[in-house]
Amino acid sequence: MAIKQILRRSFSRGKEGASMSTKVPKGHFAVYVGEEQKKRFLVPVSCLNAPEFQELLSMAEEEFGFDHLMGGLTIPCSEDIFINLTSRLVP
């Protein structure tokens, strides 16, 4: 299965994009990733058990606490690093 099918990125584009940005398919959760501009990714919940992903969650907690203004979990790393890490976690 291609990583693009497993790790889905959603964009807000106008009115339609804004309404779709709140939808998260069953078995996934939304995260925001990026250094300057945050991009929204839908990640399979199976990634939560991976030690590498747990480290990202710890970094997010340390930097942002539990107050994530974007409406989803914000992960403090670059988009490239995030995609690289999650592509190795998904079977």
Q: What is the pLDDT of residue 51?
A: 92
What contacts 85, CB < 8 A, 6 or more positions away? Answer: 52, 53, 56
Q: What is the pLDDT of residue 17?
A: 41
Mean pLDDT computed over 18-29 = 72
Beta bridge partners of 40: 10, 32
Q: In what order do the strands lie in the sheet with 73-75?
A: 8-10, 39-44, 28-33, 73-75
Q: Residue 4 corresponds to which tokens in the numbers above?
A: 């693009």
Mean pLDDT computed over 32-48 = 88
Q: pLDDT > 70: what percent of the chain?
A: 69
